[in-house]
Amino acid sequence: MSKEQDGDSAQGRASRRVSIRQVAERAGVSSATVSRVLTGSANVRGSVRDRVLAAMQELNYRPNRLAQSLRRQHAQMIGIVVSDIENPHFTEMVRAVEDGAFRRGFRVLLCNTDEDPEKQAAYLQMLEAERVVGVIVSPCASGSEEVSALIDSGIDVVAFDRVVEDPRADAVLANNFDAAQLATNHLIEQGHTRIGLVGGSVEVATGAERLRGYQAAMASAGLEPLAADGGFRIEGGELATGALLRAYPRPSAIVVANNLMTIGTLRALRAASIAVRTEMALVAIDDPFWADLVEPPITALAQPVREMAESALTLLFERIENNRTEPKRISFDFQLTVRQSSHSLARAR
Amino acid sequence: MSKEQDGDSAQGRASRRVSIRQVAERAGVSSATVSRVLTGSANVRGSVRDRVLAAMQELNYRPNRLAQSLRRQHAQMIGIVVSDIENPHFTEMVRAVEDGAFRRGFRVLLCNTDEDPEKQAAYLQMLEAERVVGVIVSPCASGSEEVSALIDSGIDVVAFDRVVEDPRADAVLANNFDAAQLATNHLIEQGHTRIGLVGGSVEVATGAERLRGYQAAMASAGLEPLAADGGFRIEGGELATGALLRAYPRPSAIVVANNLMTIGTLRALRAASIAVRTEMALVAIDDPFWADLVEPPITALAQPVREMAESALTLLFERIENNRTEPKRISFDFQLTVRQSSHSLARAR
DNA sequence: CTGAAAGCGCTTACAG
DNA sequence: CTGAAAGCGCTTACAG
């Protein structure tokens, strides 16, 4: 009822938005004062403040972020650029980033690139036009130009998973080389000698590093490497696994370089009626939630994605709020969880 | 090199942004004209247009979305409000929405509510302040006030999965009653008579509808219903399954009302050393990508999430671009995929 | 087809 | 502590 009494009651679609000005009028102060109580930046006399607050309430005032942002020269937003949010690795990362951003009063603009350099470029430029304060990006090949433009224009960027060329950016990385080496060594310790790799794209840094870690482990054990490229995707993993199965002698164990390809590998194995564990040992890099749901549960190397995401946010806000400028790079270790898919060859017999 | 020649070469962090004004000066036209070539809204003489374009190029001009949006009174953005993007159902939905929004030149603001009414309220108000053009929301209990405020202020909303109270909103729904009924009937046809339900929260419409569908199927077969509330979450599903297992006589089949709870059910069954299929038949509502990865593969009812998301976008843009005002409501059927987890009782013996 | 001018709704030195 | 005023970078009637 009280709502309806207001002179210019706001109902229906085309209702006039109430701005700082009408609040000021009703409270009998200047719009500058209203703005001051809004931002809490300057001191305002208690009684005046109360009048303003009351006026806001009565008029159902909502600040206009667009105006605030234009005035402040940036939006209270960060951009997240990932290749595909349907990859559980990024789903988790995005979830953690969203959470931390919300707590800090920032919104999140979601950008999927599909590993497409053009889409990435479009999104990066868009983020610049949108004047976000920062972006967390897991860059696909190239795109270094747009990243530099972003930084040039004063937007902070932290690279996630993969480095960007611009040395001014921060980076949160995982020790991919170590992970692949660890995975491979684990299988070697179980007595395997014919160990294949379903690897990711070597054009992507993570793919190349995981390949090298695998190769290093094989080399120092005096074993012959056997790698196929699965391009980090489900179908690729399926095809790559098929290729490994056709090798002679057929490997007795496989390291799979990410969670998506692991799905492909499981499919290929099922299609070929090859039993995981008894006929083919498996270690997966990435430890998605379904790794212990499948039968047998999969031995996996987990990245501390949540921690990594929080670290990325921390890095970002150190720049935004504390004006840090010297770039930082943080690396995280994977953690091996041994489940049933990687067995000792001895015991399997 | 040519970049460096510009009088006020823009380098380093604090570089002055180039605006429409400097472009206008360099091209020897008014800023109005620059704006016109920018928007493409009005005709501009060819030669003038070329001069402007050239000036933009030379100065590396980037339009300021913040200013555009303030002037136009809305941001080229839509908001997506879901309970949790880590639920594969929403992951897929968000992915599809992002895709369609990008194609239409819109950005996506991601909002996770965690089913928390306060967080949802905060996000809904934020979306209003941000002046997005529309929001797709899978609302948690309540929140109807903020939704109405959104619509009052001219922002279009379409409800996803669950209806909102405000009759002005569009809705994209799934036939939850039918799905649960179908799932239950499938198990009845296999000869099961003791069929439990791991249900979702009844405060949520989808939870209540799925429960009713289950109850209807049981009733018309003259069977006694046995339902436990799993709250649509993994742990809840685990607990609810535990409760069903303690019932006497123990059910020989379970319908699980969403994908998260199915994970919980699988865990509970494993913990109790009860074999899926031979000792406990299973039908899951939702068909996540891992449903055919587990052993045995799970019989599941899939929602056409992608289609539903596209439908939601279509609805939204009908309002935004074609000014449709009468509300629409679209329903989608689930599709049953029979896999190995639901067996005929006869054959199992 | 083009320009001068007003204005979107805020914030923030600058005075007092 | 408070107000008048300028300005963030655009767009869009209004004239011509």
Distances, alpha carbon B256 to alpha carbons B211, B264, B269, in Å:
10, 10, 13
Per-residue model confidence (pLDDT) at position A16? 61
CB contact under 8 A, A95 and B75: no
Q: Has residue B2 got a pLDDT over 80? A: no
Q: Has residue B5 got a pLDDT over 60? A: no
Distance from C-alpha of A88 to C-alpha of A160, rounded to nearest angstrom: 15
Chain A environment of B112 (Cβ under 8 Å): 95, 98-99, 102
Q: What is the mean pLDDT of chain A?
A: 90
φ/ψ region of A60 (left if φ > 0, alpha if ψ in -120 to 50, else beta) reads left
What distance in Å separates residue B190's CA from the closest CA in chain A?
25
* CA of residue B68 to C1' of nucleotide C12, angstroms: 22
Distance from C-alpha of A198 to C-alpha of A184, rounded to nearest angstrom: 12
Bridge-partner residues for B110, per DSSP? Answer: B80
Q: Strands across the sheet with A195-199, in order?
A: A226-229, A195-199, A253-256, A281-285, A299-302, A335-337
* Chain C bases near protein Cβ (<7 Å): 1-5, 7-13
Q: Has residue A138 got a pLDDT over 80? A: yes
H runs (alpha helix) in chain A? 2-5, 20-27, 31-39, 46-59, 65-72, 88-103, 117-129, 144-152, 176-189, 205-220, 234-246, 259-271, 305-322, 345-348
What's the token pair of residue B47?
A: 């030669």
Distances, alpha carbon B170 to alpha carbons A191, B84, B158, B319, B334, in Å:
61, 21, 4, 10, 20
Query: Minimal CA–CA distance to B286: which of B326, B319, B237, B245?
Result: B237
Average pLDDT for B10-34? 75
Q: What is the CA A299 to chain-centroid distance, rounded?
A: 23
Q: Is the pTM of this model over 0.85?
A: yes
Q: Are the beta carbons of A108 and A96 closer than 8 angstroms?
A: no
Q: Are the beta carbons of A299 and A341 closer than 8 angstroms?
A: yes
Q: Quick one: DSSP state of residue A297?
A: P
Distances, alpha carbon B81 to alpha carbons A23, A206, B62, B135, B137, in Å:
30, 32, 30, 7, 5
- Which residue reads 């909102």 in tokens? B164
Q: What is the mean pLDDT of chain B?
A: 90
| Sign, Cα dihedral of A48, A49, A50, A54 | positive
Q: Are the beta carbons of B58 and B6 closer than 8 angstroms?
A: yes
Per-residue model confidence (pLDDT) at position A346? 60
In chain A, which residue's Cα lies nearest the Cα of B234?
A: A289
* Across A286-290, A305-309, B233-237, least confident range: A286-290
Distance from C-alpha of A225 to C-alpha of A214, rounded to nearest angstrom: 8
Nucleotide nearest B43, from its CA to each C1': C1
Query: Minimal CA–CA distance to B175: which of B205, B197, B201, B147?
Result: B205
Query: Minimal CA–CA distance to A256: which of A280, A272, A275?
Result: A280
pLDDT, greater one: A262 or A343:
A262
Average pLDDT for A63-90? 94
Percent of chain B with pLDDT over 90: 75
Average pLDDT for B250-271? 95
Q: Has residue A308 got a pLDDT over 60? A: yes
CB contact under 8 A, B263 and A12: no
Give me the total of CB pairs closer than 8 Å, taking one residue from chain A and one from chain B.
135
H/E stretch holding B65: helix B65-72
Q: Has residue A4 got a pLDDT over 60? A: no
Q: Residues B140-158: pLDDT tens digits? A: 876 688 999 999 989 999 9
Query: Minimal CA–CA distance to B113: which of B149, B146, B138?
Result: B138
- Which residue reads 């939601």 in tokens? B312
User: Could you please report the per-residue DSSP string of B170-197?
Assistant: EEEEE-HHHHHHHHHHHHHHTT---EEE
Nucleotide nearest A46, from its CA to each C1': D1
- Which residue reads 């920032």 in tokens? A106
* Chain D bases near protein Cβ (<7 Å): 1-5, 7-13
Q: Is A275 helix (H, G, I), strand (E, B) or coil?
A: coil
What distance in Å separates residue B154's CA from the closest CA in chain A?
5
Average pLDDT for B164-168? 92
Average pLDDT for A83-101? 95
What distance in Å separates residue B333's CA from the closest CA in chain A?
23
